[in-house]
């Protein structure tokens, strides 16, 4: 059975996580009327640079705890949603998926919102870094200072999710 | 007492190690471990205001006290997704 939350070097696929969110409902199986999915993929350009490939690094035990936290936040905000979140590590070529999210719900609005909220929170608090290799060099990309207790950041993720 | 320091991404590049064992004072906090590292690797200073920290794979504030054998991690701004 595919775990709902995972991080590691294996290539990502949507079908297993869609199956995981709908089939792990226990007695509630069949309750879902929508599964929203999101795939983040490696883009061939960034900040005016021609990207060759990315290498992702993670502090895996803390990343998994962050995923658990995000999943709990989602369930608090959208009680009927069942969430799967997988992130890949290691070298990824252009077009490959770095993150895969599936959110199952009785109705589409919550599924879409939970999916969007989850990717925003991953970018805010998951201890994961991408190193961009481009023509002529490489650079670690540095985004947000990770602070899971930053309520402003969380509110921003909720706004992005139209929640 | 002795702690294991974990460093990631650019911080690992600066120190040249993903894991360092360090002796620290008995009343050490995460911040005092960080300052000890900055003294050793001055380029870390640029990250003073943007790092996050964790103890034993759980996010923790810089003023948290640490214990013998703890794993203390310093995290530059994240860029997952």
Distance of CA A69 to the CA centre of its chain: 12
Q: Looking at the complex, report in whole angstroms how far the Cα of residue A73 sits from the nearest Cα belonging to chain B.
A: 16
Q: Domain spanning B2-75 has what CATH number?
A: 3.10.20.30
Using one digit for the tens of pLDDT, what is the confidence trace for A62-105?
999 999 999 999 999 999 999 999 999 999 999 999 999 999 99
CA distance A1 to A20: 7
Residue B79 has pLDDT above 90, yes or no: yes
3-state secondary structure of A14: helix
Mean pLDDT, residues A140-151 taken together: 96
Using one digit for the tens of pLDDT, what is the confidence trace for B32-59?
999 999 999 999 999 999 999 999 999 9
Residue A162 has pLDDT above 90, yes or no: no
A80 contacts: CB under 8 Å, gap ≥ 6: A31, A105, A106, A110
Domain boundaries, chain B: 2-75
For residue A147, with 0-12 CB atoms within 10 Å meaning exposed, 13-18 middle and 19 or more buried, which class applies?
middle
Ramachandran area for residue A108 (φ above 0: left; ψ -120 to 50: alpha; else beta): alpha
Query: What confidence category does residue B1 fall into, taking pLDDT thresholds of 50, 70 and 90?
Result: very high
Mean pLDDT, residues A27-42 taken together: 96
Q: Tell me if A65 and B57 make a contact (CB, 8 A cut-off).
A: yes
Nearest to A123 among B6, B54, B81 (CB): B81
Q: Looking at the complex, report in whole angstroms how far the Cα of residue B13 sits from the nearest Cα belonging to chain A.
A: 10
Of the candidates A118, A38, A25, which has an alpha carbon nearest to the alpha carbon of residue A70?
A: A118
**Chain A residues within 8 A of B19 when measuring between CB atoms:** none
Tell me if ipTM is over 0.95.
yes
CA distance A147 to B61: 9
Q: Where are the beta strands (DSSP E) in A5-163?
A: 5-8, 34-41, 45-46, 49-58, 82-88, 90-93, 97-105, 128-134, 137-140
Higher pLDDT, A1 or A22: A22
Query: What confidence category does residue A1 fall into, taking pLDDT thresholds of 50, 70 and 90?
Result: confident
State the SS3 of B33-54.
HHHHHHHHCHHHHHHCCCCEEE
Residue B72 has pLDDT above 90, yes or no: yes
The pTM score is 0.97
Q: Which two tokens stand for residue B68?
A: 């013998």
Starting at the earlier edge strand, list the strands of the sheet with B52-55: B19-23, B2-7, B71-75, B52-55, B59-60
**Chain B residues within 8 A of A144 when measuring between CB atoms:** 77-78
Q: Tell me if B50 and A145 make a contact (CB, 8 A cut-off).
A: yes
| Mean of the per-residue pLDDT values of chain B | 98
């Amino acid at each position: 059975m595919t775990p709902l939350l995972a991080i590691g070097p294996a290539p990502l696929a949507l079908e297993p996580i869609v199956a995981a969110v709908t089939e792990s409902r226990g007695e509630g199986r069949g309750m879902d009327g929508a599964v929203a999915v999101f795939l983040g993929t490696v883009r061939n350009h960034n900040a005016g640079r021609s990207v060759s490939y990315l290498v992702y690094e993670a502090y895996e035990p803390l990343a998994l705890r962050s995923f658990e936290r995000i999943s709990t936040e989602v369930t608090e905000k959208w009680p009927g949603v069942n969430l799967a979140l997988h992130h890949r590590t290691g070298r990824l070529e252009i077009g490959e998926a770095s993150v895969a999210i599936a959110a199952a719900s009785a109705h589409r609005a919550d599924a879409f919102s939970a999916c969007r909220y989850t990717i925003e929170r991953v970018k805010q608090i998951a201890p994961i870094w991408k190193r961009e290799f481009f023509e002529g060099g490489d650079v670690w990309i540095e985004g947000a200072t990770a602070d899971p207790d930053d309520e402003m950041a969380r509110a921003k993720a909720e706004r992005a999710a139209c929640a | 007492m002795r702690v294991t320091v974990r460093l990631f991404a650019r911080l690992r590049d600066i120190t040249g190690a993903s894991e360092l064992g360090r002796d620290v004072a008995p009343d050490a906090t995460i911040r005092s471990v960080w300052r000890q590292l900055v003294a050793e690797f001055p380029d870390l200073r640029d990250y003073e205001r943007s790092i996050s920290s964790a103890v034993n794979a759980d996010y923790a504030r810089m003023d948290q006290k640490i214990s013998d054998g703890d794993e203390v991690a310093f995290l530059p701004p994240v860029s997952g997704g």
